[in-house]
Amino acid sequence: MGPIYVGSEIYRNSTYGKNHPLAVPRVSSTTDLCRALGWLSEANFVSAPLATEAEVGRFHDPGYIAALKRAEESQAVSDEDRARFHIGAFNNPVYPEIFRRPMISAGGILLAARLTRDGGIVYAPGGGTHHGRPDRAAGFCYLNDPVLGMLAWLDQGLARIAYVDIDAHHGDGVQDAFAGDPRVLTISVHEAGRWPHSGAADDRAGGSARNFPVPAGFNDSEMRALLEGAILPLLRAHAPQAVFLQCGADALEEDPLSRLALSNNAHWAVVAALRDLAPRLIVTGGGGYNPWTVARCWAGVWATLNGFDIPARLPPAAEAVLRGLRFNRAAGRNPPDHWVTTLRDAPREGMVRAEIHALLEAGL
């Protein structure tokens, strides 16, 4: 069986509010782009089911799950819930699907864990909410679907799992969930000095984590150096039975929330390198706040997992998907031609700086 794409219509027209970075479409545009390119069919597309409260309770506090449900029903939050669960505060707004959307993202990842029980590849661009905490929202994340997915793998009897996170922000919620657990190796590449300000190079979470806080301007050559010099050797040494890759698109140059400078080629190279490293692979999205950058990157992730050719110039139906996107920021007023006519960025190679060499030494 080939790779499976787990999507959902819950993401279409769902936003965190017009002034929030998650005002932009991401999963719906990625899915539409893949469809326009002929890359999805009844054979490889599955709609994510809603997770049950019992399933999500494997990691999350029942009181917190109930608070999310209350917030969706009432579209409001009490002072007590706001203080205790960080919803309706700290950039984690009450929005129309505040309960169902995270529950479907979690349901998609739990389905992915079931689909890969005996091996296989699942791509769920709606997953990757790596900041979610057992009892509170954090960093736009309400539930932590990577943690739930990997707990499901462990519950199936797997003993060695690797988590790789190339989002611009440290995968703190996942690292902390498995801190000190020798079964799960968590590796995070993220921008140094950025929220949540954890994930220093010497932070190993009791041996289960490796962190690569990279400097502003981080380029494709530097990502390749980290991949070949640290991430792949660490993964080979851990010999995982399953790999979970969080593929946030906010480390790409055009993203408004980071100062990193990758092209989407860097993301696709990581996907290609990890694809056959273990018998089981789940790939998710994550951050990503420029609608063109996200859709182009994440559609290319699906192509990479399948070995589909990425056309140099998009066919009209795919171009129309990208031309239909709107972005309430300066960059959205006049999107450059290549954002709507191509999928692949020009490579952004550069010098591998001393900071990267230092990270390579510290990481191994």
| Active site residue ranges | 131
| Smallest gap from residue 169 Cβ to Zn ion (A) | 4
Comparison of 287 and 291: residue with beta carbon closer to Zn ion: 287
d(C-alpha 154, C-alpha 166), whole Å: 23
* Helix count and strand count (H, E) for the chain: 14, 8
Task: Say which residues have a Cβ less than 8 Å from residue 262's Cβ, sequence separation at least 6.
Answer: 218, 219, 220, 223, 251, 252, 253, 348
Cβ atoms of residues 162 and 240 within 8 Å: yes
In single-letter form, the type of residue at position 316 comes to: P
| Smallest gap from residue 267 Cβ to Zn ion (A) | 13
Binding test (CB under 5 A) with Zn ion, winner from 250, 253, 254, 255: 250
Q: Identify which range of 116-124, 150-158, 162-170, 206-214 contacts Zn ion by CB under 5 A.
A: 162-170
Q: Does 165 bind Zn ion (CB under 5 A)?
A: no
* φ/ψ of residue 301, rounded to 5: -60, -45
d(C-alpha 216, C-alpha 191), whole Å: 7
Q: Does 173 bind Zn ion (CB under 5 A)?
A: no
Q: Does 108 bind Zn ion (CB under 5 A)?
A: no
d(C-alpha 293, C-alpha 263), whole Å: 9
| Smallest gap from residue 258 Cβ to Zn ion (A) | 7
Q: Identify which range of 60-68, 89-97, 144-152, 166-174 contacts Zn ion by CB under 5 A.
A: 166-174
Q: Does 102 bind Zn ion (CB under 5 A)?
A: no
Q: Does 255 bind Zn ion (CB under 5 A)?
A: no
Cβ atoms of residues 122 and 116 within 8 Å: yes
Find, among 265, 271, 168, the residue nearest to 217 by Cα: 168
Q: Does 81 bind Zn ion (CB under 5 A)?
A: no
| Smallest gap from residue 197 Cβ to Zn ion (A) | 13
* φ/ψ of residue 51, rounded to 5: -70, 155
Q: Does 107 bind Zn ion (CB under 5 A)?
A: no
* Residue 328, number of CB atoms within 10 A of its CB: 11
Q: Does 248 bind Zn ion (CB under 5 A)?
A: yes
Residue 196: cis peptide before it, omega within 30 degrees of 0: yes
Binding test (CB under 5 A) with Zn ion, winner from 161, 168, 235, 301: 168
Q: Does 141 bind Zn ion (CB under 5 A)?
A: no
Helical spans, DSSP H, in 75-155:
79-85, 100-115, 145-155
Q: Identify which range of 23-31, 32-40, 104-112, 247-255 contacts Zn ion by CB under 5 A.
A: 247-255
By CB under 5 A, how many residues form the interface with Zn ion? 6
| Smallest gap from residue 294 Cβ to Zn ion (A) | 11
Q: Identify the residue whose tokens are 């920021």.
A: 329
Site for Zn ion in 292-351 (CB under 5 A): none
Q: Does 112 bind Zn ion (CB under 5 A)?
A: no
Comparison of 199 and 287: residue with beta carbon closer to Zn ion: 287
**Binding string to Zn ion for residues 263 to 302, with x set by CB under 5 A, is what?**
------------------------x---------------
- Would you give the DSSP letter of residue 230? I
Q: Which residue is at the shortest CB distance from Zn ion? A: 287
Cβ atoms of residues 146 and 244 within 8 Å: yes
Q: Provide the binding-site residues for Zn ion, judged by CB under 5 A.
A: 167-169, 248, 250, 287
